[in-house]
A and B are shown apart, each in its own frame.
Chain A
Amino acid sequence: SQQGEEDPQALSIQEGENATMNCSYKTSINNLQWYRQNSGRGLVHLILIRSNEREKHSGRLRVTLDTSKKSSSLLITASRAADTASYFCATASTSGTYKYIFGTGTRLKVLA
């Protein structure tokens, strides 16, 4: 399967700093989503951006999408210790597809 790639694989920052993680994918997409996973838990949906959108905000989250480069970035501003988790991007290639392609994830550690 064609998994997306995320970088960095791991990121360690101080509380209050911003965290940026990137996702690259291989196929044309209908939308791209970001999920969060706490250790040993399920994934929680954070935000979705459609292929015709370039930027989207939700609280402290900012997502950008560049379809020409097949890449997206997730910015978490003013990070908190509670943001410590793994973050995954997922892409849906066509409308109504049931096959989402997940990236390999970025492990974020926010130090208090």
Chain B
Amino acid sequence: DGGITQSPKYLFRKEGQNVTLSCEQNLNHDAMYWYRQDPGQGLRLIYYSQIVNDFQKGDIAEGYSVSREKKESFPLTVTSAQKNPTAFYLCASSISPPTGKLFFGSGTQLSVL
């Protein structure tokens, strides 16, 4: 089945620790995105990538980093500089340039120990 796979489903971070969230897609999409969702709020864009080896900051990139070495993969690292990392993180993909429809993974819930 084609789709987007995020792992792990739940992740715990200790203070001062960097953690990496995985996102893999087999939809052959060029564009990939990372969103953060806090309770009662909409999605906010962290980073997006239009094509392999390229990525741009979204609205809330501080404290996060990404890489796009393969078309299928767009991992997100939550660094120790992100002081409030507890949130639900969603990865998405689309054709590039996007015509509208985003395809989402099932999300990773990150919590701080």
* Chain A residues at the B interface, C-beta cutoff of 8 Å: 1, 3-4, 9, 31, 33, 35, 40-45, 48, 88, 90, 92, 95-105
* Sample of 30 A–B contacts (CB below 8 Å): A1-B45, A1-B60, A3-B42, A31-B100, A33-B100, A35-B102, A42-B4, A42-B104, A42-B105, A42-B106, A43-B43, A43-B90, A43-B104, A44-B104, A45-B101, A45-B103, A48-B101, A88-B42, A92-B98, A92-B100, A96-B97, A97-B97, A99-B45, A102-B35, A102-B42, A103-B42, A104-B40, A104-B41, A105-B40, A105-B42
A106 to chain B, nearest CB (A): 11
CB neighbours of B4 from chain A (8 A): 42
| B74 contacts partner chain A, Cβ-Cβ < 8 Å | no
Other than the known A1-B44, A99-B45, what 12 A-B pairs have Cβ atoms closer than 8 Å?
A3-B41, A31-B100, A33-B100, A42-B90, A43-B92, A90-B43, A96-B98, A97-B98, A98-B33, A99-B58, A102-B44, A105-B42
- Minimal Cβ-Cβ distance residue in B for A3: B42
Complex Cα–Cα for A95 and B33 (A): 17
Complex Cα–Cα for A92 and B97 (A): 12
CB atoms of B102 and A98 under 8 A apart: no
- Minimal Cβ-Cβ distance residue in A for B91: A42
CB neighbours of B75 from chain A (8 A): none
Task: Assess A98 versus B90: contact at CB under 8 Å? Given A4-B42, A42-B105.
Answer: no
- Minimal Cβ-Cβ distance residue in A for B3: A42
CB atoms of B102 and A45 under 8 A apart: yes
* Chain B residues at the A interface, C-beta cutoff of 8 Å: 4, 6, 31, 33, 35, 40-45, 48, 50, 56, 58-60, 88, 90, 92, 97-98, 100-107, 109
CB neighbours of A41 from chain B (8 A): 106-107
Complex Cα–Cα for A90 and B4 (A): 20
